[in-house]
Amino acid sequence: MKRVSSVDVAKLAGVSQSSVSRVFSPNAKVSAEKRERILEAARQLGYKPNVLARSLITQSTNLIGIVIADVASLFYANFLSALSSQLRDLGKQVILFNVGLDQTADDVLPTLLEYRVDALIIAATTLSADMAAECAQQGTPVILFNREVELDQVSAICIDNEDGGRQIANLFLENQHRRYAYIAGIESTQTNQLREKGFMDRLLESGIDANMILREQGDYSYDSGFAAATRLLQADNRPDAIFCASDPMAFGVVDAARALGFSIPNDLSVAGFDNVPQAEWHTYQLTTIAQPLDSLLDATINVLTERLKGNESSKSKIDLFVGELRIRNSVRLK
């Protein structure tokens, strides 16, 4: 219950407090005999160095702030899981902020900055230029994950969402579909906007008549996909190819279609985005754009370590990855 500090250990071991500190520092210079005595005393007292006090002087907390929109969403839960493991291997700890899907990171960043995090990783949401400037001024590197935003001093790791939309459009076109639909994610999110733009632009470029392209509003969730598909499929001009801004919505579409008696992919082609693990499930066999999670993570870790070292070459740069089309059985081919 009573706190034990390096002074207590020093007293018990009969050495100076400095020596105790040295034993717990990576490049110690302590005689083997003293070191033993100190470690023994530490063990007896249950002593643990206080990293907060250490941070105060070293100016480094080994804390990485992660702000993430909707940890519970399938894709980001996987992302967080992998990322936090890798950070742990680097000796970094994660301090986590979960914000709403529609929220910005601005609200929570001040708190994170108060904890003097060594760096910030912001996923699935963005921050204002002002806040970016504030982080920069404090010398806190910011890495944006999955937002294509060009901000002074911040690094961005992102998949090419627009290209992903085009890839799906191409797949639909090559396999001769007639009427298309897009089910949107939360409208204000950039991810949604770019996926939609790529898909729509490609269809229009190829000469598809604009009124052969339908659109429904969703919110990335299964339920919203289910509802949107139900509306689309009960109308006279029902589509035979639906692209969803996220995999969960696509699952909803598949289920809704089957509930109405349609067969996938014979009557209806469905494609999603992200390639969450469920996309492989036997019922769905969903064609989708895979986020290359491993590459994205590697890039994130690389940029992070470089910026922590003070290397700023990745600053104000967007690192864009191409999504990989995963063709499964939810899209009619030929």
Q: Please tell me whether residue 61 binds a copy of itself under the rule CB under 8 A.
A: yes
Give me the 202-231 binding string for a copy of itself, x by CB under 8 A, dash otherwise.
Answer: --------------------x---x-----
224 torsion bin: left (phi>0), alpha (psi -120 to 50), beta (else): alpha
State the minimum distance, in angstroms, from the CB of residue 54 to DNA. Answer: 4
Q: Nearer to DNA by C-beta: 34 or 328?
A: 34
> Using CB under 7 A, which of 22, 197, 326, 328 touches DNA?
22
Distance of CA 139 to the CA centre of its chain: 23
Q: Pick from 39, 113, 212, 320: which binds a copy of itself (CB under 8 A)? A: 113
Helix (H) or strand (E) holding 229: helix 222-234
| Calpha distance 242→184 (Å, rounded) | 11
Copy the structure tokens of residue 77: 């839960």
Phi, psi of 101 (to 5 degrees): -60, -30
For a copy of itself, give the closer residue by CB, 227 or 303: 227
Q: Binding partner of residue 204 among DNA, a copy of itself, none, CB under 5 to 8 Å per kind? A: none
CB atoms closer than 10 angstroms to residue 304: 25
Which are the contacts of 310, defined by CB distance < 8 A and separation ≥ 6? none
What CA–CA distance (Å, rounded) separates 143 from 154? 6
7 lies in the binding site for a copy of itself (CB under 8 A): no
Give the CB-side neighbour count of residue 38, counting CA atoms within 13 A: 24
Site string for DNA, 41-60 (x = CB under 7 A): ------xxxx--xx-xxxx-
Specify the residue, 30 or 229, whose C-beta has the smaller distance to DNA. Answer: 30
Q: Which residues in the 247-276 window bind a copy of itself by CB under 8 A? A: 251-252, 254-256, 258-259
- The whole-angstrom separation of Cα 18 and Cα 188 is 55
Q: Does 90 bind a copy of itself (CB under 8 A)?
A: no
What is the three-state SS of 196-249?
HHHHHHHHHHCCCCHHHEEEEECCCCHHHHHHHHHHHHHCCCCCCEEEECCHHH
Q: What is the contact mask toward DNA in residues 258 to 297, using x (rule: CB under 7 A)?
A: ----------------------------------------
Burial class (CB in 10 A: 0-12, 13-18, 19+), 49: middle
Q: In what helix (H) or strand (E) does residue 326 lie, and over which residues does it extend?
A: strand 324-326
- Is 110 among the residues that bind a copy of itself (CB under 8 A)? yes
- Residue 57 touches which of DNA, a copy of itself, none (Cβ within 5-8 Å per kind): DNA
Positions that interact with a copy of itself (CB under 8 A): 1, 3, 46, 48-53, 55-56, 59, 61, 63, 70-72, 77-78, 80-82, 84-85, 88, 93-98, 108, 110-111, 113-116, 134, 137-139, 222, 226, 251-252, 254-256, 258-259, 277-278, 281-283
